[in-house]
Each structure stands twice: as C-alpha cells, then as structure tokens.
Amino acid sequence: MQISTLIGNSQMLDGGAMFGNAPKPMWEHWIKPDELNRIPLACNSLLIKNWNNKNILLEAGVGAFFDPKLKERYGVVEKHHVLLESLKKENLSHEDIHYVILSHLHFDHAGGILSAFDDGELRLLFPNAIFFVGKEQWERAQNPHSRDRASYIPHLNNLLLNSGRLKFVEQNKKTELDPFITFRFSNGHTPGLMLAQINLNDGPLIFASDLIPGFAWMHIPISMGYDRYPELVIDEKRTLLEEVLPLNAKIFFTHDIQHSIGKVLKDNKGKFYAEPYEYPKGQE
C-alpha cells in the first residue's frame, strides 16, 4: 500500500478571509500576500494506492470546471485539470479510482470530480468510483444558506445522484472501508464536514479538511471568515487535537502550499503545532 499527496489546481484567495479574526500583521508572517492581499493556497488530495487492490482518493480539489469569469473571481491559477496530471504521475487515471471520499461539497474540495470547462459539457469524472459524502453535508448542499450558496456547484448533486454510485455516511455508522478508514464529523466550518481517519500502524492520519486547512491554522484561536461558526471551529480543533495527540497522529492539510502532512505536537506552553512529515513509499 502506498500513500501519496496529489497536487490539484491552486488558488489565490484573500488572506483576511482565510485568517478571519487574525490581524494582517500577524498572518502575513505565516503566508506572504500579493499586491491584492491574496495568499497562495494548494488543493491537495490524498491517494491511497493498492489498499485491498483498490485505490482511494480523498477529495479532488477545485479542478478546472469554472468558466473564465468565475475562475478569475475565485483565483484559480491553472487552466487545465492539474489533478488528472498528478494521477498520471502515479500511473493511474481517474478511471482507476475505486473510492472518492469528499469531506464536503464546496467547490474547492469537490470541483475536481468534474471535467474541465474547455472539455465541453460538464460531466462527472471517476466513472468506476463510489462517492462517499456525509449525509448532513448533502442536505446542506441541497438547501444551502444564502451565506454559503456560492460555495456549492450547480448541477453537481444531480450528477452524483444520477451516477448511481453515491453513498451517504452517517455519524457512528460503519462503511465498507471500516476499520481502515473511519469518520468523524465537524460542524463549525459547514454542517456535516466529514473528517476521514486513516488508521495506520504508526498512528492515525487525519484528513482535517477545512477544520485545519494548513499548518498556520493549527494555532487553536485561528479560524476563517468562511467558517459558519468560528467559535465552534475553535472548540472542535481543540477536541480533535487533544484526542489524537497521544496516538502519534498526523494531519493531512488540504490547502497548505508547502507541506501536506504534519505530525501533531504540543509545546511546553500547551500550544499545538505540526512538524512536516512524509510517509515512506510502501507505507503500510
């Protein structure tokens, strides 16, 4: 079995929005903004290759489905579908993926399951995959609030439903991936955000999604302007990190531009942080 980070399309988004309550003189030391106050953000996906002869993809990033106007508005850098190129480097295509796990259905996490804008009519990729989506998040995507309506992709829900390969995940209910992958849920960023826990021999790997988007957000008080309930995000982060710290846990960061995986640590002042970590090829 092999664990790899796949690079998807990147974005440039407003640093103030990404760091919420943190003042610019603080966060600009973590990630330097450009002249428009935007910071670079990755859309990292996690590939688990050859688990029981199956390939698992956790998220697909923003992809390249946006038309030119929206692509510019949301700061998508590349025109082509970068994730598909990253799969090729692993000697795979989207047709070789058996499971796609979507933490939530915001466009920067689910857009990569769609074809590129320049490829004509929008279609669903990964034709042989089962799509795992949290049931509560699905309900939110069906009836979004006006605050986050723009975060969802028109027609994606129908494409997923019509595929016949959509599977809902609920709290405390097992899936066919259990016990290798189990799920916990968070509600501070969006209702029913699904955090996958990959249970490895040397400790769990937590796919933290937008609960902890990158290394800078390991600092407990930091939240995003995009979060539904920032105070709940802070509480959920603390609970998660306290729970997994004794387990030698690692966090997978979807939006960190430098490192996608970090080992969870805590200093002598009680502050959580992460140290960059890489799994060796052939990790079991």
Question: Helix/strand/coil (H, E, C) string of 111-127?
Answer: HHHECCHHHCCCCECCC
pTM, entire model: 0.96
Residue 178 lies in a domain: yes
- pLDDT tens-place string over residues 4-45: 999 999 999 999 999 998 999 999 999 999 999 999 999 999
The predicted pLDDT at position 280 comes to 80
Q: Let me know if residue 284 belongs to a domain.
A: no
CATH number at residue 155: 3.60.15.10
pLDDT of residue 183 exceeding 80, the answer is yes
User: Does residue 43 lie within any of the structural domains?
Assistant: yes
Task: With H, G, I as helix, E, B as strand and everything else as coil, classify residue 272.
Answer: strand
Strand, coil or helix: 246: helix
262 within some domain: yes
Q: What is the pLDDT of residues 163-178, one digit of tens each?
A: 999 999 999 999 999 9
Q: Would the pLDDT of 66 be above 50?
A: yes
Grade residue 284 by pLDDT with cuts at 50, 70 and 90. Answer: very low
Segment 189-222, tens digit of pLDDT: 999 999 999 999 999 999 999 999 999 999 999 9
Provide the β-strand partners of residue 266: 272
Q: Which residues contact 139 (CB under 8 A, 6 or more apart)?
A: 191, 192
Q: In the predicted model, what is the mean pLDDT of residues 94-105?
A: 98
282 located within any domain: no
Number of domains in the chain: 1
List helix spans (H) across the chain: 15-19, 24-27, 68-73, 82-89, 107-110, 135-142, 156-163, 230-244
Range of the domain at 247: 2-276
Mean pLDDT rounded to a whole number for the chain: 96
Q: Quick one: pLDDT at residue 71?
A: 96
Instruction: List all residues 6 or more positions away from 13 whose beta carbon is below 8 Å from its beta carbon.
Output: 38, 39, 41, 74, 75
Say if 281 falls within a structural domain: no
